[in-house]
């Protein structure tokens, strides 16, 4: 078995589901904390479980370069290597090549690039991307694609999209493992008709799940939302839908309202290290002077370890002092909030009250519903 998916209920466009992998099940809609290099920054696997995480994401590009996929395979695979016994999704490495490597060349064979670590030269092909992910032993693998930059001309976007389709077919043909699922990626930039063509082409190849790529790459929020709203309904009802790399709380709520099942983003962990905390009322920047003597927790209704035990004044103090504990406590809160947010949405869908809940979510932040 590679991946089972049950769509349990729909409500106002939102979907409640359950995915089953060889390393356990996870409920959807789901947020996947990002363990880029085999670790979710600042928290242990046990803490992740306690915070409500059911599936995490790791980065193929970084693990390929260091410590190497063959080393990880020899040590029992990525689950054992990082002591996470739940589902893992690995990306293909394509986005990191395009975003981190200044020297790269894209052609039909794949991507030739220089490592951002030591300048060494590498070739990443669709077949290679699958081979690396199979060595890692992730539950869900992603096809190699070209993440089209923004802005991009229609001519470039269309050419890039068709290359992504040919690579996707090669990835599927290269797949050997029967215990790992493979998701195809829809591209097409900011052009509605290309998004539709891409969705149709990727579905024709046939995958275990489908992802929307090439979003949150610099475009304005309304344009991103337009592309999501245009593309998500085109994807198969019976397969999970994954919105890649998109991740403010508002983005997650909008995505769920459009029928997206899976999300990932570094935002909760990166913002935690930078002193920004997410709450039901919006962002709280802990370094602000107004919290110097504030005895309240980050969020009085939050049940996380940080909010149960520490004041805003203390969190500001250790952040200003550069204490390592600051990053840990902030990360615990942010990841708890993201898991809580997804849980609230699942409950709202289950009860048939998602639209009412969504309006309340925006009202609590003083925002108009998207």
Asked whether residue 107 is domain-assigned, the answer is: yes
What global pTM score does this model have?
A: 0.97
Mean predicted confidence (pLDDT) in 82-89? 98
- Give a three-class secondary structure readout of 129-157: HHHHHHHHCCCEEECCCCCCCCCCCHHHH
Q: State whether 245 and 349 are in the same domain.
A: no
Q: Among this protein's residues, is 139 annotated catalytic? A: no
Asked if 21 and 82 sit in the same domain, the reply is yes
Q: Beta strands 121-124 and 140-142: pairing type?
A: unpaired
Number of domains composing the chain: 2
Does 341 lie in the same domain as 257?
no
| pLDDT tens-digit map of 97-117 | 777 767 789 999 999 988 889
Q: Is there a single domain that holds both residue 40 and residue 125?
A: yes
* Residue 370 resides in a domain: no
Q: Rounded distance, CA 83 to CA 102, Å?
A: 33
Asked if residue 166 belongs to a domain, the reply is yes
Got the DSSP string for 295-357? Answer: -S-S-TT--SHHHHH--HHHHHHHHHTT-HHHHHHHHHHHHHHHHHHHHHHHHHHHHT-HHHH
Asked whether 162 and 195 are in contact (CB, 8 A), the reply is no
The verdict on residue 222 lying in a domain is yes
Place 369 in a pLDDT band, splitting at 50, 70 and 90. Answer: confident
Query: Nearest-CA neighbor of 4 among 22, 259, 138?
Result: 22
Q: Do both 18 and 133 map to the same domain?
A: yes
Domain identity same for 251 and 281: no
Q: Is residue 369, in this structure, part of any structural domain at all?
A: no
Among 232, 264, 296, where does a domain finish? 264
* Together in a domain, 241 and 336: no
Please determine, for residue 2, whether its predicted confidence score (pLDDT) is greater than 90: no
28, 48 in Cβ contact below 8 A? no
| Claim to verify: residue 191 and residue 153 sit in the same structural domain | yes
What's the chain's Rg over C-alpha atoms? 20
The per-residue pLDDT of the chain, averaged, comes to 96
- Whether 199 maps to a domain, the answer reads yes
CA atoms of 153 and 309, how far apart (whole Å): 52
Q: Are residues 283 and 256 in the same domain?
A: no
Average pLDDT, stretch 357-362?
97
User: Whole-angstrom distance between the N-terminal and C-terminal Cα of the chain?
Assistant: 38
- Please provide the DSSP assignment of 62-74 as one string: HHHHTT-HHHHHH
pLDDT digits (tens, 9 = 90+) for 145-191: 998 889 999 999 999 999 999 999 999 999 999 999 999 999 999 99
- 234 and 277 share one domain: no
**Domain with 309 in it:** 272-364
> Could you tell me if residue 88 is inside a domain?
yes
**Helices 324-351 and 354-364 sit at what angle, rounded to 10 degrees?**
140
Query: Catalytic one among 11, 91, 139, 145?
Result: 91
Determine the Cα–Cα distance for residues 137 and 117; give it in Å rounded to an integer.
Answer: 24
What digits encode the pLDDT tens for the residues 117-145? 999 999 999 999 999 999 999 999 999 99
Residues 123 and 151 grouped into a single domain: yes
Q: Which of 231, 264, 297 is the last residue of a domain?
A: 264
On whether residue 27 sits in a domain, the answer given is yes
Catalytic annotation on 264? yes
Q: What is the CATH number of the domain that holds 115?
A: 3.20.20.105
Instruction: Provide the percentage of residues in the chain whose pLDDT is more than 70.
Output: 99
| Model confidence pLDDT, tens digit, residues 179-226 | 999 999 999 999 999 999 999 999 999 999 999 999 999 999 999 999
Of 264, 295, 314, the last residue of a domain is 264
Among candidate residues 251, 261, 264, 299, the one labeled active-site is 264
Quick one: 241 and 288 in the same domain? no
For the chain, give the number of residues.
370
């Amino acid at each position: 078995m590679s991946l089972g998916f049950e769509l349990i209920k729909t409500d106002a466009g939102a979907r409640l589901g359950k995915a089953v992998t060889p390393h356990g099940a996870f409920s959807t809609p789901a947020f996947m904390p990002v363990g880029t290099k085999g670790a979710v920054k600042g928290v242990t696997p046990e803490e992740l479980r306690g915070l409500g995480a059911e599936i995490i994401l790791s980065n193929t590009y970084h693990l390929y370069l260091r410590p190497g996929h063959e080393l990880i395979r020899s040590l029992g695979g990525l689950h054992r290597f990082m002591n996470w016994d739940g589902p893992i999704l690995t990306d293909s490495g394509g986005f990191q090549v395009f975003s981190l490597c200044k020297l790269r060349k894209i052609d039909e064979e794949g991507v030739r690039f220089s490592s951002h670590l030591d300048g060494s030269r590498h070739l990443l092909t669709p077949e290679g991307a699958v081979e690396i992910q199979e060595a890692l032993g992730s539950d869900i693998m992603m096809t190699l694609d070209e993440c089209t930059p923004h802005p991009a001309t229609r001519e470039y976007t269309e050419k890039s999209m068709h290359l992504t389709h040919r690579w996707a077919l090669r990835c599927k043909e290269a797949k050997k493992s029967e215990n790992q699922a493979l998701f195809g990626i829809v591209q097409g930039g900011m052009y509605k008709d290309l998004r539709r063509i891409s969705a149709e082409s990727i579905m024709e190849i046939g995958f275990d799940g489908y992802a929307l790529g090439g979003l949150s790459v610099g475009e304005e929020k309304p344009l991103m939302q337009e592309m999501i709203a245009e593309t998500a309904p085109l994807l198969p009802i019976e397969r999970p839908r994954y919105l890649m790399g998109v991740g403010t709380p508002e983005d997650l709520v909008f995505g769920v309202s459009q029928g997206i099942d899976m999300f990932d983003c570094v935002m909760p962990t990166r913002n935690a290290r930078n002193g920004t905390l997410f709450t039901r009322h919006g962002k709280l920047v802990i370094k602000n002077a107004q919290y110097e003597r504030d005895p309240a927790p980050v969020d009085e209704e939050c049940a996380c370890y940080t909010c149960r035990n520490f004041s805003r004044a203390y969190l500001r103090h250790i952040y200003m002092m550069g204490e390592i504990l600051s990053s840990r406590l902030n990360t615990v809160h942010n990841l708890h909030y993201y898991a809580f947010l997804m849980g609230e949405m699942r409950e709202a869908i289950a009860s048939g009250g998602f639209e009412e809940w969504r309006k309340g979510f925006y009202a609590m932040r003083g925002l108009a519903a998207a």
